[in-house]
Structure 1
């Protein structure tokens, strides 16, 4: 695996020097300041590449922009409304411009209205660290009592609705505001932040879009952009829904292995692949992460390695961001599956045998607690996660263990 690090640009509290000291091998970034649906120009791409290539003293960093996360798919494309055809044309142009800069891997998502969703951005755990959390009762408070979505109560279990009513009655105005801000914040670095009225407007536009319709729109998008990516030698990889179950009555189409199989088979191309996010998929107890890596492996182009701890066995339940080697996903077994897949690719002679991964999210620890970095992206917490993950990787790749070699021999045989 190639160890990478997500960087939000010059305003990120983690600097290029920090990444170099952390020992990363590549950078994951995006042009967050460009509105969704607009073209990423060659000048803007070159500017970001130049920022990554320099240390703070101006000397070469030796790092390169390896993965784009994300080249956003606009709401118009998802709904096939408004300027969606123009946005698809712009997406193709952006792919051309990125390919000209030598960037091959593009991570994106197809979540409607809300991207990743959390009710708490700094929830304290027993160690004193803080992390992000999704609390199903707090989300029910938002949906039923703050957003006041018609029929919202029918989408939750009866005990969740009852508890949400009690919690809302005792909730301070400050906490109500905090929940709204946390849920509507959007992706880290995003330029588009929604208000309650904005969420209601988007929901109204999705009123007649079923999961089948959204999936059809997704496939139509892929039919347009995948041939371009394949011609350019690029690999598109869709990030799963986060959390991987329906919210706000909206359809979700990338939450399970079956969802991925449907989309990958509908547009079958080496350029159409998956971002396997262990944290997003792991928030749902019926997702078999190791099995997904084994079965989807040839089309896994990017890895997010993080862990979550679920409060219950409910499909739509509460969870928090745990330490990378803790939580409900067997991270050691997952990394072993990745190492086997990489060995299989090497035996096939694939140029993309090394899969880039990043230590996704992390708990705020030590000096992180006072830095106020992007939620989920503390410097020290991610450094700790990277160190743990890299230790597991090195062990499996070491000749003394023989896992990689055994996998290669098995494939050759």
Structure 2
């Protein structure tokens, strides 16, 4: 596997020179300044590429190899008449990236919201801070802050009572913080920051949309993108919905192994692949990550390695644990990913340590939630150790 690192561009508190010190060789990034639905110009791609690849003399080279992500415009997900112009722009962006030698593209098909957490500063017993999704607090947002129409139909009587009680205890600052955590936009999100009214309007556009319809819109998008990707030698890697279940009345269609089977049965193109985001998939107890790493070996072009620990009393609640200490058997996942590369000798899987804890000197710094330097470096070191243990040749033994 190739060690990679996510970089948010020149304003990222973790600089290119910082990343070089981690030992990672490949950069995962995007043109975050280009709005969704607009073609990425070659000049902008090359300028961004130069920031990464123009290496000062005597220092290790870095290479931009993975795009995360080209945003898919909402009109494509909604299947609007305007969708075609945005599909064409997406294809043009892919062509321009390929012309610059960048041929692995992560993307997602989540309606309205991207990855979602209720707490960006959940303190662990170690004193470090993690990201957390709390189902009860999410219910508070849905029922009492957003006040989504018919939201109560998605919750049990016990959940309704608990959310009402918790909301009554929250002060204005806590309500604002919870709202911002969910809808105000996070680094790397492929959606815009919303106000509540705009957010409600966005949700209303999806009223009545079923999983089947959303899936048809994904398939239509890919039916046009994949033939071009094949010609270019580009590998597409769809990211799962995070958390991987229906939310806010929105259908989600990339949540389970069955969802992936459906996708590949419908569109078996060799360019059609996945980002195995271990933390996202494992926030559902019915997803077996070592098994998925084995079963989808040929389709995995990119992987996010992190783990979550779920609340035993409420499996929809989870926090992002250490990379090796979560509910996920990360050692088995890594073993199967290495086996995937061995089974398909032409395959390269790019991996990056996903969200790290905010810890040590980073606690007092302004960092992108989940993307502090030290926490990810710790995760990378742990993952690197597992990989080294599996790949260590007998000839190195004393």
TM-score of the two chains, using structure 1 as the length reference: 0.93
Deviation at 1:82, TM superposition (A): 5.3
- Report the more deviating stretch, 206-215 or 157-166: 157-166
2:380 is the alignment partner of 1:386 = yes
Match of 1:410 in 2: none
Deviation at 1:264, TM superposition (A): 1.6
Match of 1:371 in 2: 365
2:184 is the alignment partner of 1:185 = yes
Match of 1:273 in 2: 273
Work out the CA distance in 1 between the residues paired with 2:280 and 2:195.
Answer: 24
2:162 is the alignment partner of 1:163 = yes
Cα distance, 1:82–1:12 mapped onto 2, change above 3 Å: farther
Match of 2:137 in 1: 138
| 8 Å CA contact retained: 1:131, 1:376 | yes
Match of 1:203 in 2: 203
2:251 is the alignment partner of 1:251 = yes
Q: Helix, strand or coil: the match of 1:110?
A: coil
Q: Where do residues 35-184 of structure 1 align in structure 2 (5 Å cutoff)?
A: 35-54=35-54, 61-81=60-80, 83-184=82-183
Q: Helix, strand or coil: the match of 1:14?
A: coil
2:393 is the alignment partner of 1:399 = yes
Q: Helix, strand or coil: the match of 2:114?
A: coil
Q: Helix, strand or coil: the match of 1:81?
A: coil
Deviation at 1:189, TM superposition (A): 3.9
Deviation at 1:59, TM superposition (A): 7.2
Match of 1:411 in 2: none
Deviation at 1:289, TM superposition (A): 0.5
Deviation at 1:314, TM superposition (A): 5.1
| 8 Å CA contact retained: 1:53, 1:61 | no
Deviation at 1:186, TM superposition (A): 3.4
Work out the CA distance in 1 between the residues paired with 2:292 and 2:92.
Answer: 32
Cα distance, 1:126–1:227 mapped onto 2, change above 3 Å: same
- Report the more deviating stretch, 385-394 or 187-196: 187-196
2:346 is the alignment partner of 1:327 = no
2:2 is the alignment partner of 1:2 = yes
Deviation at 1:399, TM superposition (A): 1.9
| 8 Å CA contact retained: 2:301, 2:348 | no
Match of 1:408 in 2: none
Counting matched residue pairs gives 395
Q: List structure 1 segments (4+ residues) > 6 angstroms apart after TM superposition.
A: 57-60
Deviation at 1:62, TM superposition (A): 1.1
Work out the CA distance in 1 between the residues paired with 2:313 and 2:214.
Answer: 27
Work out the CA distance in 1 between the residues paired with 2:225 and 2:36.
Answer: 16
Work out the CA distance in 2 between the residues paired with 1:401 and 1:384.
Answer: 28
TM-score of the two chains, using structure 2 as the length reference: 0.96
| 8 Å CA contact retained: 2:143, 2:152 | yes
* Pick aligned residue for 1:354 from 325, 348, 351: 348
Work out the CA distance in 1 between the residues paired with 2:81 and 2:185.
Answer: 21
Work out the CA distance in 2 between the residues paired with 1:87 and 1:376.
Answer: 30
Work out the CA distance in 2 between the residues paired with 1:106 and 1:280.
Answer: 18
Work out the CA distance in 1 between the residues paired with 2:91 and 2:123.
Answer: 43
| 8 Å CA contact retained: 1:226, 1:271 | yes
Work out the CA distance in 2 between the residues paired with 1:155 and 1:327.
Answer: 29
- Structure 1: unaligned runs, 5 residues or longer: 403-413
Deviation at 1:45, TM superposition (A): 0.2
CA distances 1:326-359 after superposition (whole Å, capped 9, x unpaired): 110000010011111111112xxx2xx2210000
Work out the CA distance in 2 between the residues paired with 1:366 and 1:278.
Answer: 25
Cα distance, 1:120–1:394 mapped onto 2, change above 3 Å: same
Deviation at 1:83, TM superposition (A): 2.6
Deviation at 1:401, TM superposition (A): 10
Q: Helix, strand or coil: the match of 2:35?
A: coil
Report the aligned-residue RMSD: 1.6
Q: Helix, strand or coil: the match of 1:188?
A: coil
